A and B are shown apart, each in its own frame.
Chain A
């Protein structure tokens, strides 16, 4: 059977991703067993009532061999079953599933916003005069170094308490999403803009830009049609790291703006030693990372035809 080289590459990449996912599940299993104390005590969290230990042992099969437990663990996670939260007395999948969407909304809104802000800033300022670049660099550095919660509090003070344009907390309306998304996007945008601008300036030095100018294209088209795509390559490399940052930042942002979401779930789970939930969140974060880096590798090949062969 003949498989297209690009398809073959993507399939190979997906296969390695599966191995990484399996590795992270194994790591979680080993970590659970490496913790000091008995597993049933750890899984029970702060909860004590008669019969609980026995129920946990029965459910997790803790009386069986370690290998049987491991096979069972991998199998259950592969089927999407993360077990029960004994603290909340609910299936973990249900807890995480109900709270994941506000976080996804926030992180993706912030991600898109950061991309747009960075793209516009870099396209407008790359290779321009010293003043424009200096100003942009200063703003970007401030954004990139400021903690999310600090930006969040500033935004709240200005737009919610003083101007009253946006609600202080909640997740009911789209207005409630604006301030958290901006707070979360700014540090990412600052970093991304710096990388993008530097890459654009390097691309603008390339001989093909002279060729394109000699075809009569104006500065804007040169940047949008030719240079931006070249600049996107190093930015994509940074992408996996930024997605991680967005997820981590979302947890804090949710707390500042009083939004429901994975942040609250995680925090509560950690505070009440609700290990099954913590385990699920850790695995989820690993899966998202793997998915993101797989996706970015494919994006690479889409952007740069030079990577498609060999």
Chain B
């Protein structure tokens, strides 16, 4: 790719914690040249972050690293002492992590954070003052009004600007290597695309980029080479195009297939298999279909009319913020309605009003043909069970002292102990959990399992409508696929109506019958999901669709072969 000494040249890297702990990273080879982007892809716990952080000796307390070759910037890093590692950090390699809100010191200004590496290493700043250097660095990553931003704190910036500021703080020391650990996770699609573009610019300037992600689709557009990691080992590696076109390892194929594509609609994401192809052409994905869905009836489950909600800024006089303006929609029995928009578009306000947790300033909500908004909570309570909720962060929605059976059982009033236990067991099986998990505390479960518990809790009430608020946004792509499959399967079997809220357009396309696009509190587009995707009318919808990562497989659009059994 590029001539010259590789920035990173390691062979046989293994990392274990403690003297005789198991190796969490096993025999990894990794080379990063200047001006190229290498991606490490895998699910949480696959060892990708530990591998990357080992390059700056920050794998964590108690980490023990062994390797056959460990060349950092052409020098044998196995001989580095603590002081040598510290000199290297920030000047040779910069680290960008996830979520700038917690990855930048929240008590210090952006300017202080960006300047720290330069001041600390006494790097030459030329004739400029530190303040100018900070402003220049912020400007380089596309932060508007850099002098103003430098005086602000992380919590005062939007998610996208914050993440750029974090990148600025990592590149202020002009490092030749940038390690970006899930730099776009939890960001909206358009912001994600912008942050990736900023990183791409650095690579174009000659920096080496080691990009870590759980999402193959994110790295596909930027990485020159990809390493797919699983359980501490690299299972697949090579130039990005080659790995995507001819994935060698089944896990890579799974990752590729887990990303919702237009072809995947109506089928199970996690069931995807690569079709055996002897001709050596582009691979094809086969998926199992979801169960047949009952027809959507004309019965309206929920009707929202002219919802408007305005918040008053505290402190400022007459300063108001319109979170929602004249939003109307209805959901019919058995229908899946997708609600799409970026952070701040009013999705959450809308969800809260639908759930009856917030009163609209104007407009009304009717549930099952009767008034829902504007009632006292006592009047709402008899119908509460009909309206259930699956949150993004299931764990924080559970009472921390409750076991799984208490959480699910809460929605099963009036059952005696034996009948309740049987019902809980059935529900857990329905969501793909072993009934034995009923005795466990949710914090001992994985993210995917917790989400399944939240689904079981919602189902226990036999609801007419479930509001799913970003139900899989916090999960790895592969787990996401399984949970999405579960929601889709249960929806098809039970015919429950869903209000599916997400910033992930690809996911909504996979799930929804109808689509509502929110921007700045207003509906800018609504209609049949496929129709909106194929012919978006509003420029904003078009820009949202454009920011979707390109399909990983550029093969012919092959519809899922119905009835395939694998």
Q: Mark A residues whose CB is within 8 Å of B.
A: 5, 8, 206-208, 210-218, 221, 226, 229-230, 303-306, 309-310
Contact = CB atoms under 8 A, between A and B. Distances in A.
B106 A211 contact: no
A310 B95 CA distance: 31
B107 A210 contact: no
A310 B312 CA distance: 10
B158 interface: no
Query: Nearest 5 pairs between A and B by C-beta?
Result: A214-B95, A216-B89, A215-B90, A216-B90, A215-B117
A213 to B, nearest CB: 6
Which residue, B107, B156, B315, has most C-beta atoms of chain A within 10 A? Answer: B107
Given A5-B315, A207-B102, A215 B120 contact: yes
Contact of B170 (A214, A217, A229, A305): A214
B120 to A, nearest CB: 6
Nearest to B315: A5
A211 B86 contact: no
B27 interface: no
A216 B107 contact: no
Given A8-B315, A213-B58, A229 B107 contact: yes
Contacts of A229: 107
B91 A216 contact: yes
B97 A212 contact: no
A217 B105 CA distance: 14
B355 to A, nearest CB: 24
25 contacts: A5-B315, A8-B315, A207-B98, A210-B58, A211-B95, A211-B97, A211-B169, A214-B58, A214-B93, A214-B95, A215-B89, A215-B120, A215-B169, A216-B90, A216-B91, A216-B117, A221-B120, A226-B107, A229-B107, A230-B107, A304-B107, A306-B106, A306-B107, A309-B315, A310-B315
Q: Which of A208, A226, A229, A306 has the most CB of B within 10 A?
A: A208
Contacts, number: 80
B85 to A, nearest CB: 8
Nearest to A9: B315
A4 to B, nearest CB: 10
Contacts of A215: 89-90, 116-117, 120, 169, 173
Contact of B105 (A212, A218, A303): A212
The interface centre, meaning the residue of A214, A305, A309 with most chain B CB atoms within 10 A of its CB, is A214
Given A217-B120, A221-B120, 18 more contacts: A5-B315, A207-B97, A210-B97, A212-B105, A213-B58, A214-B58, A215-B89, A215-B90, A215-B117, A216-B88, A216-B120, A226-B107, A229-B107, A230-B107, A306-B107, A309-B315, A310-B314, A310-B315
Given A215-B90, A226-B105, A210 B153 contact: no
Contacts of A208: 102-106
A74 B56 CA distance: 67
B440 interface: no
B562 to A, nearest CB: 46
Nearest to B172: A215
Given A212-B116, A216-B90, A229-B107, A207 B99 contact: yes
Residue in A5, A211, A304 with the greatest tally of chain B CB atoms within 10 Å: A211
B58 to A, nearest CB: 6
Dominant SS among interface residues on chain B: mixed
Contacts of A309: 156, 315
B87 interface: yes
A217 B91 CA distance: 11
B104 A211 contact: yes
Contacts of B179: 214
B442 interface: no
A82 to B, nearest CB: 40
A179 to B, nearest CB: 37
A211 B58 contact: no
A210 B53 CA distance: 10
A201 to B, nearest CB: 12
For the residues of A in contact with B, the DSSP-based class is helix
Contact of B89 (A207, A213, A310): A213
A221 B106 CA distance: 17
Contacts of A221: 120
B94 interface: yes
Contacts of B99: 207
A211 B103 contact: yes
A130 B120 CA distance: 31
Nearest to B60: A210
Contacts of B97: 207, 210-211
Contacts of A304: 107
Nearest to A213: B58
A40 B359 CA distance: 60
B380 interface: no
B121 interface: yes
B155 interface: yes
A218 B315 contact: no
Contacts of B87: 216
A5 B155 CA distance: 17
Contacts of B88: 216
Given A215-B116, A216-B91, A210 B103 contact: yes
B166 interface: yes
A233 B559 CA distance: 58
Contact of A306 (B53, B58, B155): B155
Contacts of A305: 106-107, 109, 153, 155
B54 to A, nearest CB: 13
A206 B88 CA distance: 22
A169 B179 CA distance: 64
B107 A207 contact: no
Greatest chain B CB density within 10 A among A5, A208, A215, A221 is at A215
Contacts of B107: 226, 229-230, 303-306
Contacts of A5: 315
A99 B314 CA distance: 46
A212 B115 CA distance: 12
B56 A214 contact: yes
A214 B89 contact: yes
Given A210-B95, A210-B103, A229-B107, A306 B89 contact: no
Greatest chain B CB density within 10 A among A212, A213, A306 is at: A212
B444 to A, nearest CB: 19
A304 B109 CA distance: 11
B153 A306 contact: yes
Nearest to A227: B105
A294 to B, nearest CB: 20
Interface string B54-72: 0010100000000000000
> Which of B56, B89, B179 counts the most A-chain CB atoms under 10 A from its CB?
B89
